[in-house]
Amino acid sequence: MGDIWEGLVEAVKLIFSFDPYVMRITLFTLYVCAIATFFGMLIGVPLGSVLALYRFHGRKFMVTLVNAGMGLPPVVVGLFIYLLLKRRGPLGFLGWLYTPRAIILAQIVLAMPLIAGITMAAMQNVNPKLRLQSKSLGAGEVRSTLTLLRENRLSLVAAVIAGFGGIISEVGAAMIVGGNLLVNGEPYTRTLTTATVLEISKGNSTSAIALGLILLAITFILVWVMTLIQQGTLLNHPARLARSLMSRRRKEEPA
Amino acid sequence: MSSFLRVEGLQHAYGGRQVLDVGSFELGEGEIIAIVGPNGSGKSTLLRILNLLEEPTAGELTFWNGVRLSTMTRQEKKELSGKMAMIFQEPLLFKRTVRANVAYGLKMHRVAKEERNRKVQEIMERLDIEELAERDAMTLSGGEAQKVTLGRALVLEPRLLLMDEPLASLDVPARKSLRADISRLVKEMGVTAVYVTHDYHEVLEIADRLAVLLDGELQQVGKPTEVFGRPATEGVAEFLGAENLLEGEVSACRQGMADLDIAGINIEALCEEPPGSRVKVLIHPEEVVLLAGSGDAGSARNRLPARVSDVKALGALVKVDLDCGFPLIAYITLASREEMGIERGRRVTAVIKATSIHVLPYVGPGA
């Protein structure tokens, strides 16, 4: 128990002293997760929408793939990406193995099905007549789909939360394809999760606890912000405040 | 009235199953046509086809600008769609403010912001919904929401307004108010409208013409009074709630006047069917006149001695069930009932003019 308490105190000191090593790993983790979530959304949201709104040959197979993808083990994804990117693999010529790009690629593969699957489920739950209504008011295929996505923004934010949460906490794929490397003493492919595993294996529980705490804090803050966006409080509150100030000013003016 | 929209040989099937075979009909500019029929008769499908949201299996549509469905280009389809608007049964509003909902179609048609704001304001004032402008559309009552959908459709100044049972989900006061708004605004704006419903009562006030669609087939199109007065088929009569729809046989026919045998009772009616033909006979209850005793029947050809088997007060009217060899229903006023002392068991004479008896072709069971 004493070790844990000591570890916690040390961890807090490490965080608030803005230790360069810890800061770099944290920023690198945010960087790869943000890019992977962005690309996961870029592919997942349209894919989920198409699967929900259109009927075509092979749709069922694709739905099965997306659903299966939602439960992909990160280690298996890491292994698969490793086999693709290794020097003699089909994509070996890219030279991406043990680079941040490899981690991003693996994380896109992990996040995309989560985002596509949740988008698909949400879009399927919308009254199909809403799209007809949108079309009958002049929206084409794309704009009527965008309208539906906007109607579903709560679920879309949930999809992004799920995608981001899924990749920021995974360690297997990042470890396999990134290699947890330091280059010239600087973290190169070291994420918060891979660094935590390394610190534990070295018996350095203070650093491991610090990294773990940072990971928890980041996940909590980002999910909290996204939840505020989802529930409309973050964006609506300032707008509502501005509106109320404006109307108060208008009322005061004649007086 | 010039032809605004012509429908020819329109058919539609889902998975090989024919759901629509409406033949041909025309829509005049500025008229309101009500398409009535039971649930599942293909009304909404017809509406979606007219709105170019669905392509029919066969048939041709010719629009007001001469564009035909069969040769329509993408651009023409887009332009035509922009001149139509549709209102569905449920008020399908988007999760945004009322103002943003009303502006939606204009935004989709890329109308400039100032123009858009002006038009939205104008239509909201005409519908008396300005005070709802900044409300979240999801917080509106059913009647308010449907009013907003009407505004959202009419702000586009459509040439053709398509309405799919817009009052179905509303309570009686909301129905009454919205029906009045639809009627007033559609006429004021000179919009041609197609109004689909399974409840024909709601369109009698506002429709210029009535079309009856049964099992995907258009059975009759005409002025509401014509369709109600002289239903073309037994199906139409039944759907429109005909209460005295009787089976009979033509026993003699001369110069358009026939003797009909209904359950052994002879009545005279206007009819061209040859003797021996089985027919359906429609007698509107309000066209049956009751006389106490034998009374004076005037020029009416049919005087049937009857016994009152039941009497039910229906507000200002009284429904009288008669037995005159066959069951017959008559409607009389409360005052007439008191004057004649109409009670169960009372003997009366039912008088029916030959011109008030409508003879329809017989369609056997399962036909």
The pLDDT tens digits for B15-50 are 888 899 988 889 999 899 999 988 888 998 999 999
Contacts within 8 Å (CB) and 24+ apart, B258-264? B258/B359, B260/B357, B260/B359, B262/B325, B262/B326, B263/B325, B263/B326, B264/B325
Q: Which of B51, B90, B109 lies nearest to residue A136, judging by beta carbons?
A: B51
Q: Quote the pLDDT of residue A182.
A: 87
Beta pairing class for B192-197 and B160-164? parallel
Query: Cβ–Cβ of B104/A151 closer than 8 Å?
Result: no
CA distances from B128 to A234, B98, B178 (A): 33, 13, 11
- How does residue B10 score in pLDDT terms, banded at 50, 70 and 90? very high
Mean pLDDT of chain A: 87
Q: Quote the pLDDT of residue A244.
A: 61
Q: Name the residue among B147, B153, B159, B150 with its Cα closest to residue B29.
A: B159
Between A241 and B67, name the one with better pLDDT. B67
- Asked whether B304 and B267 are in contact (CB, 8 A), the reply is yes
Q: Tell me the mean pLDDT in the region A51-59.
A: 94
Give the closest-approach CA distance of B320 to chain A in angstroms: 46
Q: Which of B86, B92, B108 lies nearest to residue A139, judging by beta carbons?
A: B108
> Is A151 within 8 Å of chain B by CB?
yes
- How does residue B240 score in pLDDT terms, banded at 50, 70 and 90? confident
Q: Tell me the mean pLDDT in the region B260-283.
A: 89
Give the closest-approach CA distance of A137 to chain B in angstroms: 5
CA distances from B245 to B1, B263, B285 (A): 34, 13, 10
Residue A232 has pLDDT above 50, yes or no: yes
Q: Quote the pLDDT of residue A255.
A: 44
Q: Tell me the mean pLDDT in the region B215-241.
A: 86
Query: Cβ–Cβ of B85/A137 closer than 8 Å?
Result: yes
Query: Cβ–Cβ of B94/A129 closer than 8 Å?
Result: no
pLDDT tens-place string over residues B98-107: 999 999 999 9
Q: Which residues pair with B149 in a beta bridge?
A: none
- How does residue B321 score in pLDDT terms, banded at 50, 70 and 90? very high
Q: Quote the pLDDT of residue B148.
A: 94
B322 Cα distance to chain centroid: 29
Query: Cβ–Cβ of B92/A129 closer than 8 Å?
Result: yes
Q: Quote the pLDDT of residue B366.
A: 42
Residues in chain A closer than 8 A to B152 (CB atoms): 137
Q: Which of B81, B86, B95 lies nearest to residue A151, judging by beta carbons?
A: B95
Q: Quote the pLDDT of residue B244.
A: 87
pLDDT tens-place string over residues A15-35: 888 888 888 999 999 999 999
Q: Quote the pLDDT of residue B95.
A: 92
- Helix/strand number for chain B, H first, E second: 9, 19
Mean pLDDT of chain B: 88
pLDDT tens-place string over residues A176-228: 999 999 888 788 999 999 999 998 999 888 788 888 888 898 888 888 888 88
- Asked whether A42 and A160 are in contact (CB, 8 A), the reply is no
- What is the side-by-side order of every strand in the sheet holding B289-292? B289-292, B347-352, B302-314, B317-323, B327-333
Residue A240 has pLDDT above 80, yes or no: no
Query: Count of residues for chain A?
Result: 255
Q: Quote the pLDDT of residue B285.
A: 87
Residue B289 has pLDDT above 70, yes or no: yes
Q: Quote the pLDDT of residue A224.
A: 86
Q: Tell me the mean pLDDT in the region B254-263.
A: 88
* pLDDT > 90: percent of chain A: 54
Q: Which of A127, A137, A147 lies nearest to residue B152, judging by beta carbons?
A: A137
Query: Cβ–Cβ of B152/A134 closer than 8 Å?
Result: no
Residues in chain B closer than 8 A to A143 (CB atoms): 108
Q: Quote the pLDDT of residue A249.
A: 63
* Buried-exposed string B169-188: b where 16+ CB fall within 10 A, e elsewhere: bbeeebbebbbebbbebbee
Cα–Cα dist B151/B129, whole Å: 9
Between A104 and B286, name the one with better pLDDT. A104
Residues in chain A closer than 8 A to B81 (CB atoms): 135-136, 138
B70 Cα distance to chain centroid: 29
Residues in chain A closer than 8 A to B75 (CB atoms): none
Interface probe with A: pick from B104, B159, B164, B169, most Cβ of A within 10 Å? B104
Cα–Cα dist B296/A176, whole Å: 106
> Is A150 within 8 Å of chain B by CB?
yes
- How does residue B367 score in pLDDT terms, banded at 50, 70 and 90? very low
Residue B205 has pLDDT above 80, yes or no: no
B169 Cα distance to chain centroid: 18
Between B202 and B287, name the one with better pLDDT. B287
> Is A71 within 8 Å of chain B by CB?
no
